[in-house]
């Protein structure tokens, strides 16, 4: 008994200044002693009266602690007293706790594919691609839409919703897409997702098996590659030129895909528009071979000049296209609402699969967004942002043209970024590092390359979050960073030449 009582009475339980009650402290002490094997299986615990006297606490405290341990299965109680339960490998859990900080986790092998990923935590610095003008978001109108949703639907909206999302929002999105993007759809085809990223994962889950081939734009959107990697697909890069994704004629025969990712309205990151000839060819070949096209229209709403470029999905009836969209740019990224418009032929079967795969939630935000769209606030906000981004893009184009060779600027009159190609000798990653030290946040074009290529060297420069009047100064800082890297590269080449001639 003395042996058993030792681990329990070592060190007093203290009431003073402790946020944890005496009985909680005693329970934790007993649990740790059992898990560490200091109180072995079968050991008889002291009577509550004896332990209370030893510890100088009330008997009731010990009784409550023993009851709790009994309820959790740490001890067994019978007429003879309270004994420690036989617990498998109790001592090894204590060792494991100490080792866990240093332990190697046996990750899934697909995690290796993300090992080289650079972390981009900072999305607030100037020139960040993909961050909209958050300070121009109409908060008062959004607040009204949220309040209206609360009045309309509480408390019912606190419960689970439809896995495909709130019908009101799905209908509102379908109506908007028919009008603004020429998408052929109704609300039954729309599935609301947590941003475009979940929509891409859903396409992979619904339409592919591990090992299937998927084509992807090169350079291209890393989020699509990540979604394909997570589905264990075999990703095949397709080069992008000024007409968008360029598929070699024999690729359909040699390596037919199950899934193809495209961003036709504004290729990310080169800004190319997929030509109508290529769109029609992709649709025809996909139909012929049973492949599916993903059309990511993430910033197609922001065409600054001329008529909007209509969606590929709406080009012909019943195209094998899953149209993916997001409110991350048109509203704000933290809303995390995106969607996929399924082909009509997929709707019925997908509905049952979705019951297993998704839980309907975020209902208040979804209803608020439906209100925002229906009240015309979304359309007005888009109009204002188009004008703002047009102005910012002009400022960026002018500043880049002044400081760099204009022929190296890629990107159409759409979206929220331009891409500046750099000569191969100037490392884009080195420039980005210098720029980040100056609180500028362009991305390295080489980071979007699936297969490394000399041409994919440059800067992806966002203007969504940078006021026009700050752009000239930011670009001249950027030019200094580029010159510094160019100077270092020249110095290195000079040294190499000097060494070669010295050797000669
Ligand atoms: C090409 C592309 N598609 C989609 C998205 C939007 O993704 P999400 O809706 O998950 O924020 C982005 C965001 O940067 C993007 O660059």
User: Which of 139, 14, 8 lies closest to 66, judged by CA?
Assistant: 8
Contacts with 22 (C-beta within 8 Å, 6 or more apart), sequence order: 13, 15, 57, 61
Place of tokens 């023993």: 66
How far apart, in whole angstroms, are the C-alpha atoms of residue 175 and residue 164?
17
pLDDT tens track for 127-165? 999 999 999 999 999 999 999 999 998 899 999 999 999
CA-197 nearest atom, ligand 1: 10
- Comparing 36 with 262, the larger pLDDT belongs to 262
Are residues 114 and 226 in contact, defined by beta-carbon separation less than 8 angstroms?
yes
Tell me the CA–centroid distance for residue 326 and ligand 1, in Å.
7
Q: What percent of the chain has pLDDT over 70?
A: 90
User: Which of 256, 255, 270 lies closest to 217, judged by CA?
Assistant: 270
φ, ψ of residue 235 in degrees (nearest 5)? -85, 125
Tell me the CA–centroid distance for residue 57 and ligand 1, in Å.
60
pLDDT band at 424 (very low <50, low <70, confident <90, very high): very high
pLDDT band at 504 (very low <50, low <70, confident <90, very high): very low
Tell me the CA–centroid distance for residue 147 and ligand 1, in Å.
28
Q: What percent of the chain has pLDDT over 90?
A: 76
- Comparing 192 with 89, the larger pLDDT belongs to 192
Nearest Cα residue to atom 2 of ligand 1: 298
Nearest Cα residue to atom 7 of ligand 1: 196
pLDDT band at 87 (very low <50, low <70, confident <90, very high): confident
What number is the average pLDDT over the span 485-496?
A: 82
pLDDT band at 328 (very low <50, low <70, confident <90, very high): very high
What number is the average pLDDT over the span 423-445?
A: 96
How far apart, in whole angstroms, are the C-alpha atoms of residue 120 and residue 191?
29
- Sequence-ordered strand ranges (E) for 12-100: 75-78, 81-84
SS3 for 324-341 is EEECCCCCCHHHCCEEEE
Q: At what angle do helices 22-35 and 59-72 cross, to 10 degrees?
A: 50
Nearest Cα residue to atom 13 of ligand 1: 130
Which segments of 132-275 does DSSP mark as H helices, in order? 139-153, 167-181, 195-207, 222-230, 251-254
Nearest Cα residue to atom 4 of ligand 1: 298
User: Which pair of structure tokens corresponds to residue 463?
Assistant: 């203007």
Structural domains of the chain in order of their starting residue, each with its CATH number? 2-97 (1.10.10.10), 136-379 (3.40.640.10), 382-503 (3.90.1150.10)
pLDDT band at 492 (very low <50, low <70, confident <90, very high): confident
**What DSSP element (H or E) covers 420?**
strand 417-421
How far apart, in whole angstroms, are the C-alpha atoms of residue 137 and residue 380?
11
The per-residue pLDDT for 490 is: 81
Q: Is the pLDDT of residue 52 over 80?
A: yes
Are residues 465 and 389 in contact, defined by beta-carbon separation less than 8 angstroms?
no
Best mean pLDDT range from 12-26, 235-249, 410-424:
235-249
Tell me the CA–centroid distance for residue 268 and ligand 1, in Å.
9
The per-residue pLDDT for 213 is: 98
Q: End-to-end distance of the chain based on CA atoms, in angstroms? A: 88
Tell me the CA–centroid distance for residue 411 and ligand 1, in Å.
17
CA-337 nearest atom, ligand 1: 9
pLDDT band at 174 (very low <50, low <70, confident <90, very high): very high
As for ligand 1, residues whose beta carbon falls within 6 Å of it are: 130, 195-197, 221, 223, 263, 268, 296, 298, 326, 328, 333, 338
φ, ψ of residue 146 in degrees (nearest 5)? -65, -45
Nearest Cα residue to atom 12 of ligand 1: 298
Tell me the CA–centroid distance for residue 197 and ligand 1, in Å.
7
Predicted TM-score (pTM) of the model is 0.86
pLDDT tens track for 6-42? 666 666 677 666 667 888 999 999 999 998 888 999 9
**104: left (phi > 0), else alpha (psi -120 to 50), else beta?**
beta
The per-residue pLDDT for 83 is: 95
Q: Give the CA dihedral 449, 451, 452, 456, nearest 10 degrees.
A: -40
Q: Is the pLDDT of residue 463 over 60?
A: yes
How far apart, in whole angstroms, are the C-alpha atoms of residue 267 and residue 280?
17
Q: Is the pLDDT of residue 94 over 60?
A: no
Q: Is the pLDDT of residue 375 over 70?
A: yes
- Comparing 203 with 103, the larger pLDDT belongs to 203
Triad 313, 316, 321: Cα angle to 5° = 30
User: Which pair of structure tokens corresponds to residue 81?
Assistant: 């007293």
How far apart, in whole angstroms, are the C-alpha atoms of residue 168 and residue 366?
8
Q: Which of 9-18, 79-88, 167-176 shows the lowest mean pLDDT across its residues? A: 9-18
Which segments of 290-376 does DSSP mark as H helices, in order? 347-357, 363-374
Nearest Cα residue to atom 14 of ligand 1: 130
The per-residue pLDDT for 249 is: 87
Are residues 294 and 203 in contact, defined by beta-carbon separation less than 8 angstroms?
yes
């Amino acid at each position: 008994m003395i042996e058993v009582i030792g681990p329990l009475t070592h060190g007093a339980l203290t009431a003073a200044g402790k946020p944890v009650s005496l009985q909680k402290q005693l329970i934790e002490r007993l649990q740790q002693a059992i898990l560490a094997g200091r109180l072995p299986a079968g050991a008889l615990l002291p009577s509550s009266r004896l332990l209370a006297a030893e510890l100088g606490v009330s008997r009731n405290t010990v009784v409550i602690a023993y009851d709790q341990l009994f309820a959790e299965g740490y001890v067994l109680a019978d007429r003879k007293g309270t004994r420690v339960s036989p617990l498998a490998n109790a001592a090894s859990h204590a060792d494991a706790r100490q080792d866990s900080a240093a332990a190697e986790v046996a990750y899934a092998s697909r995690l290796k594919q993300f090992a080289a990923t650079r972390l981009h935590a900072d999305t607030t610095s100037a020139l960040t691609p993909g961050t909209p003008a958050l300070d121009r978001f109409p908060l008062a109108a959004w607040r009204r839409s949220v309040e209206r949703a609360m009045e309309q639907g509480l408390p019912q909206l606190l419960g689970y919703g439809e896995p495909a999302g709130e019908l009101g929002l799905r209908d509102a999105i379908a109506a908007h897409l028919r009008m603004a993007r020429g998408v052929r759809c109704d609300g039954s085809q729309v599935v609301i997702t947590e941003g475009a990223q979940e929509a891409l994962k859903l396409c992979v889950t619904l339409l592919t098996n591990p090992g299937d081939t998927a084509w992807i734009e090169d350079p291209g959107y890393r989020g699509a590659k990540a979604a394909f990697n997570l589905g264990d697909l075999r990703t095949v890069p397709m080069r992008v030129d000024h007409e968008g994704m360029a598929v070699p004629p024999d690729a359909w025969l040699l390596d037919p895909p199950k899934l193809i990712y495209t961003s036709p309205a504004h290729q990310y990151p080169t800004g190319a528009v997929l030509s109508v000839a290529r769109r029609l060819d992709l649709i025809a070949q996909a139909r012929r071979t049973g492949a599916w096209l993903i059309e990511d229209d993430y910033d197609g709403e922001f065409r600054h000049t001329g008529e909007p470029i209509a969606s590929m999905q709406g080009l012909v009836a019943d195209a094998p296209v899953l149209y993916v969209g997001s409110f991350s740019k048109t509203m704000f990224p933290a809303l995390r609402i995106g969607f996929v418009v399924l082909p009509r032929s997929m709707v019925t079967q997908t509905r049952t699969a979705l019951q297993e795969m998704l839980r309907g939630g975020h209902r208040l935000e979804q209803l608020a967004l439906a209100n925002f769209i229906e009240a015309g606030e979304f359309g007005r906000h888009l109009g204002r942002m188009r004008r703002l981004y047009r102005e910012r893009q002009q400022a960026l184009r002018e500043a880049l043209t002044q400081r760099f060779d204009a022929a190296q600027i890629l990107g159409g009159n759409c979206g929220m970024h331009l891409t500046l190609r750099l000569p191969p000798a100037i490392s884009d990653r080195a420039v980005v590092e210098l720029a980040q030290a100056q609180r500028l946040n362009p991305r390295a074009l080489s980071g979007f390359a699936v297969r490394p290529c000399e041409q994919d060297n440059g800067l992806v420069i966002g203007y969504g979050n940078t006021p026009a009047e700050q752009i000239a100064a930011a670009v001249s800082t950027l030019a200094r960073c580029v010159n510094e890297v160019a100077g270092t590269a020249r110095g290195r080449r000079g040294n190499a030449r000097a060494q070669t001639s010295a050797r000669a």
